[in-house]
Homo-oligomer: A and B are copies of this chain.
Amino acid sequence: MNGKTEYADLTHILNPKCVAIIGASEKQGKVGQAIMQNYIDAGFAGGLYPVNISATGKIMGHQAYKSILDIGRPIDLAVISIPAPAVPKALEECGKAKVKGVVIVTAGFAEVGNVELQEQLVRIAKKYKLPVIGPNCLGVMDPRSRSDTLFLPTFKIDKPNVGGISFVSQSGSVGSSTLDLISGEGLGLARFISYGNAAVVDEVDILNFLAHDPDTKVIVFYLEGVKRGKEFIEVAKKTTKIKPIVILKGGVTESGAGAAHSHTASLAGSAQAYEAVFEQFGFTIARSLEELLYFAKVFDTQPLPKGNRVAIITNGGGHGVIATDAVYQNGLVLPELSKPTQAALRKVMPPIVNIRLPLDIGGDADGKRYSDAFELLSNDQNIDMVMAIVLFQTPGADEGVAETVAKYMAMKNKALVAVSTGGSYTKSHVAVMESQGVPVYDSPNDAAAALAALYKYAKYKMSGK
């Protein structure tokens, strides 16, 4: 909150008991209608209070009020979606009504040059010590509390599972499409925050809140610019000591920065400057939208490894070769198996299996053979992480193998990722593994990059910087 972080408590915005929708409407196509519908469809269990200056009677089955001051009950979150010129007055009333947090989705402020109108909001928020997200934003979604201010057609976005990933995006479109992707892939969401113009609550406040949020296991940021760079770094430094931050920086080329400036009016710095700073403070840098998710899912589900030694188990030789290349290209290594592990594997594996890493257990490998391999590798002190490649096109790979991989998620002393490449039959088995928390990747390259991100962060954390 622009230097005054002491009152940026987002708890009531993300987990409200009572919500007022200022600008609520029954008219299809209105933002206030979409938001009301969201809370109703999501089965939000708290109180829902539509506010509309021309309200009489009920809106969508809920008693409506002309002003938030008329409700006469404590409101945790007010969502404002009325025309921009009317927003300051509504915000002032939120302050008077002792609302605990506000999301302003309305656009038409600094991003189109109405700087003074936005400054009015800032002054009111400061006066009442109101945490305000926005304006010009999608707002928040919290799958636990079912607080959801996104005003997009609900049938267009998959609903997320509950999990440990908190996704923060200045950009609404990156926010909503990535949220949809997170949901479509079955990943677990803790908090979603799209904060738009950041007039009051900004990146620093959000990072600060998520750092201390017990539901957030990994913080994932799409960031175009930072207003309070120094404070951001201060908070980030403390945060990466507690939990990982994965970040995709938009506007890292000169032209990209130009596009970012015209997009959110934020000043994007150079790629080098950001990356150097980010790396120094233990950030995990994603270089594409995919990497954001690839890294997020491994951090959400896997323990931090003690070293960079990877065991590859595969039922396909070619994938073993590609995975080995990818492991080394990402700064990880395939260790030598310990002598006892070698001897034990020799006993249970068919004679044709070469007892070394990558461990190619054969195109006919079934659940039993995978289980034997996992069991022995999980006890080998030379191994920190396991990449299990399961190609479901082979005769032996079936439900049994998917369940074996899921079972060895319990192998909590080592990080585990799986790789399965294929079409519909494969995807149905990937879903089984992912539903049990195994991070599954299409290719060995992505899996190796994810393990490398995990190791790099673990190393940073162990270094005690």
Could you list which residues of chain A lie within 8 angstroms of chain B, going by C-beta atoms? 29, 112, 152-153, 155-158, 169-178, 180-181, 183-185, 222, 224, 248, 250-256, 258-260, 262-264, 287-290, 315-322, 324-329, 333-334, 352, 354, 356, 358, 360, 363, 391-395, 421-427, 442-446
Asked if residues B325 and A251 are in contact (CB atoms below 8 Å), the reply is yes
Q: Across the two chains, which residue of chain B brings its CB closest to A358?
A: B259
Determine how many copies of this chain the complex contains. Answer: 2
A396–chain B nearest beta-carbon distance, Å:
10
Interchain CB contact (< 8 A) of A263 among B288, B321, B391: B321
Asked if residues B171 and A316 are in contact (CB atoms below 8 Å), the reply is yes
Q: Across the two chains, which residue of chain B brings its CB closest to A262?
A: B354
Asked if residues B157 and A425 are in contact (CB atoms below 8 Å), the reply is yes
Residues on the B chain within 8 Å of A325, using CB: 250-253, 255-256
A112–chain B nearest beta-carbon distance, Å:
7
Residues on the B chain within 8 Å of A320, using CB: 259, 263
Asked if residues A392 and B156 are in contact (CB atoms below 8 Å), the reply is yes
Residues on the B chain within 8 Å of A181, using CB: 421-423, 442
A174-B318, A391-B177 as given contacts; A255 in contact with B334, CB under 8 Å: yes
Can you list 15 pairs linking A and B with CB atoms under 8 Å apart? A171-B316, A173-B393, A174-B322, A177-B391, A178-B421, A180-B422, A184-B422, A224-B318, A224-B321, A255-B334, A263-B320, A288-B322, A288-B443, A288-B446, A289-B444
Asked if residues B424 and A318 are in contact (CB atoms below 8 Å), the reply is no
Asked if residues B157 and A290 are in contact (CB atoms below 8 Å), the reply is no
A323–chain B nearest beta-carbon distance, Å:
8
Asked if residues A152 and B262 are in contact (CB atoms below 8 Å), the reply is no
Asked if residues A393 and B156 are in contact (CB atoms below 8 Å), the reply is yes
